[in-house]
Amino acid sequence: MHICQMTNGMMYGDAVSNHVIEIDKILKSWGHETDIFSGYIAPEMTKRVRPDHEYLSYVNNPNVWLIFHYSVYNPNISLFQRTKGKRILIYHNITPPHFFKGWDEKIYFECDLGYRALSHLSECDFAWGDSEFNRQALLEAGFESSKTGVLPIILSDTYYESLSHNDDLDTKLQYSQQTIWLAVGRVVPNKGLDDIIRLFYVYNRAINAQSHLYIVGSRYISTFNAALDKLVTELNLQNDVTFTGRVTDSELITYYQNADMYVTASHHEGFCIPLIESMYFGVPILARKNTAIPETLGGAGILFTDLGYHVVAEMAHLLVTDIELRQHVIQTQKNRLKDFSFSNAESILRDVLEKLVSA
């Protein structure tokens, strides 16, 4: 059988791209012919990924199946809709557009368009959300419940093991002898970064002055960046908070390896890959109880609601200093990590594909 995958963009280090590659490995191991198509292809991916327009030659072939990864609106959804073979959707969530209103009208429009288009993809043979939260979004968009399921993001041990840390950054972080708070992800309005900064301010000023917050991720909304920079200045945290911008994979794992705690106060997550990465690197997690975050943690980490910055700062202090609590949290995270294994994903994939073959 020939099974293709299509997505909006393929690049190393991107969670959806890694997921596509892991699925491709599984399909190949079962003897299937495979292809990966994408709208955007990073230079390092050109030998592995084909431009999406080349999929046109397969559209009318009923023996070619398409797995379509949907996380942002892209015109290549028309190729998915026109496919004569089996059509499988994997929904990675789209950030609700209202988060971008007043910050970036282009992203607002793209998210709004993406949301509206989701219901037009419901006439497919099967659809996965990468979380139950995302599966529920499919049902709200009109997908038939019996034709939906959950396929979590696949964690690739070999991917992380193949990376080496950044020696210069490692030396810098260790030499500082500071308690390191880490937040990873795009610097965008739904991530609750203003709350993280205010929370860190209380921790840094009232509990532990020898601490530093690293916010690791790309910054591309100038008005939002300016608002966060202004907040940091108003709180006089210029020497205590660092926005790294986009980093290399080796730099990213170095931040994880040196972090004392991972923190997220996000208002909306469809899955939240950094939680899985924190589990992998043994970094205890403090996270806002919101959207898909409790599901992804599955009882691991420490969740907080809007209890007030001082209360949550004390929770952070315990997570860093209480050895017994810290070890317990790290162990529960390691146990949860097993649910995102390669073998678990194989089982889910096989079950659905076998049913579609016999349908």
* Whole-prediction pTM: 0.93
What's the CATH number for 2-155+341-358? 3.40.50.2000
Half-sphere exposure of 309 (CA within 13 A, CB side): 14
- As its CATH architecture, domain 160-339 has 3-Layer(aba) Sandwich (3.40)
Contacts of residue 195, defined as CB under 8 A and 6 or more positions apart, other chains included, come to 265, 288, 309
- Predicted local distance difference test score (pLDDT) of residue 251: 95
Rounded CA separation 141/253 (Å): 37
pLDDT: which is higher, 343 or 144: 144
Rounded CA separation 131/137 (Å): 10
2 in helix, strand or coil? Answer: strand
CA 78 centroid distance within chain:
25
How is the beta sheet containing 241-245 ordered, strand by strand?
241-245, 211-216, 179-184, 261-264, 285-288, 302-304
Q: Convert the pLDDT of each residue in 26-67 to its tens digit.
A: 999 999 999 999 999 999 899 999 999 999 999 999 999 999
Q: Convert the pLDDT of each residue in 204-228 to its tens digit.
A: 999 999 999 999 999 999 999 999 9
Q: Is the pLDDT confidence value at 157 over 70? A: no
Residue span(s) of the chain under CATH 3.40.50.2000 come to 2-155+341-358, 160-339
- Side chain identity at 298, as an amino acid letter? G
Rounded CA separation 40/137 (Å): 26
Question: Percent of the chain beyond pLDDT 90?
Answer: 86
